[in-house]
Amino acid sequence: MNSKRRQEFRRKLLDWFRRCQREMPWRRTRDAYCIWLSEIMLQQTRVAAAIPYYERFLEKFPNVQALAGAREEEVLRLWAGLGYYSRARNLQRAAREIVERHGGEFPRELAAALALPGIGNYTAAAILSIAHGAPHAVLDGNVARVIARLEAIRGDLREPKRWRGLQTSADRLLEISKAGDWNQAMMELGATVCTPRAPDCANCPVGGFCRARELGLAEKVPEKRRKRAAEKVHLAVAVLLDPRGKTILIPPTPSKKASGKKAERGAKKNPGLSALFSGMGHFPAVAVRKNARAELRRFLRTSGVAELPSGANWIALPALRHAVTHREITITAFVVRVEKLPRVRSGRVVGLNKMQTLAVSGLTRKIARAALGR
Ligand code: SF4
């Protein structure tokens, strides 16, 4: 595209964005804290699902100081249901750095923004351009797809050299004087018109500039990425339940005091378990091979959670399925009725029916729902 065509392209896209952009609460502000929060929430979550979380979060933590001073438990509780809790933890760690090192203002320099936990190239460019009009072009999946189609680029877009080329194109297209609107317009086009499947080329505001459309390739670009085969994991889980309806959650990693061979043994038996439960407290669980009940019972004994009598009341729940990145998990959960819950170091005793409001992973909530519905 020569410079005259680029000007025309920018004018058409910005004009369309002004007329057709969707209403979103974070589009009514230029406050860097609000925009940062929305960008982090939107990383793995659809717009409609993120809006109520965004509003509740801002009500409780209206500024970076409030977030920095909050208890982590409270932050995670408000995040509960959004998943990927590392986002919330990084958000709070970054808030504390902003208060301690940047006088409570989200940094305006790209390098300083990138040094904060949880802030990568895309997020930094989005926040700085939208809040302060800084001339940084964003490149996320939506923008990459739009550019790949405009330029009819074939091959895997995430391949590093190709991704760098897409960033160069994004930089060249950027309307520097309206960087925030420009970035949002490109993302909006990718999210609503130039969608992954069935792009709406007939109603595209920049269809006259699109090589893929001209060549009849719109639906073939970008090429599908080859998927890694999912790792299959079989988990056995114990929902210990006392007569008051209370259960126990164990900490996500071996407690600091439980060092040495016992902790190592636990880690070997439960590879990556902490990640499956988003690094949050969870029901006692172990990866098993054949006999879920026997292996779980042995795990409970050897890890020091509980020595359950052979006559203990075990109720097997129907198998559950759960998928996380590159993993397919089958869960065999047992409700185990006990007179008294065991005392577990750093364990938490909670009401089983309160699980949906606690800061726990989606997998833990799914197991709790199944246990309540048995
Ligand atoms: Fe995407 Fe079609 Fe527009 Fe090209 S013409 S940018 S493929 S929606």
The residue nearest atom 2 of ligand 1, judged by CA position, is 201
Residue 148 Cα to ligand 1 midpoint, Å, equals 10
What CATH code is assigned to 3-214? 1.10.340.30
The residue nearest atom 7 of ligand 1, judged by CA position, is 218
Task: For 47-102, write each residue's pLDDT tens digit.
Answer: 999 999 999 999 999 999 999 999 998 999 899 888 888 899 999 999 999 999 99
- Quote the crossing angle between the two packed helices 179-192 and 121-132, to the nearest 10°: 120
Residue 181 Cα to ligand 1 midpoint, Å, equals 19
Task: For 71-83, write each residue's pLDDT tens digit.
Answer: 998 999 899 888 8
Residue 150 Cβ inside 6 Å of ligand 1? The answer reads yes
Task: For 143-193, write each residue's pLDDT tens digit.
Answer: 999 999 999 999 999 999 999 999 999 999 999 999 999 999 999 999 999
Q: Which residue has the higher pLDDT, 343 or 191?
A: 191
Same fold, 3-214 and 231-372: no
Query: Which sequence spans correspond to the domains of the chain?
Result: 3-214, 231-372
Of 149, 153, 197, the one to substitute when testing ligand 1's pocket (max ligand atoms within 8 A of C-beta) is 149
Atom number of ligand 1 nearest to Cα 204:
3
Angle at alpha carbon of residue 110, lines to 195 and 138, rounded to 5°: 10
Active site residues: 39
How far, in Å, CA of 6 to CA of 12, rounded? Answer: 10
Residue 138 Cα to ligand 1 midpoint, Å, equals 19
How far, in Å, CA of 38 to CA of 54, rounded? Answer: 7
Residue 198 Cα to ligand 1 midpoint, Å, equals 10
State the Cα torsion 118-122-128-133 to the nearest 10°.
-170
Residue 201 Cβ inside 6 Å of ligand 1? The answer reads yes
How far, in Å, CA of 269 to CA of 116, rounded? Answer: 34
Residue 357 Cα to ligand 1 midpoint, Å, equals 43
Annotation: CATH topology of 231-372:
Nucleoside Triphosphate Pyrophosphohydrolase (3.90.79)
Task: For 255-313, write each residue's pLDDT tens digit.
Answer: 444 444 444 444 445 556 878 888 889 999 999 998 999 999 999 999 888 887 666 68
Task: State how far the alpha carbon of 24 is from the alpha carbons of 29, 35, 49, in Å.
Answer: 10, 11, 12
Asked if pLDDT for residue 374 goes beyond 90, the answer is no
Asked if pLDDT for residue 335 goes beyond 60, the answer is yes
Residue 212 Cβ inside 6 Å of ligand 1? The answer reads yes
Strand partners, 234: 330
Residue 190 Cβ inside 6 Å of ligand 1? The answer reads no
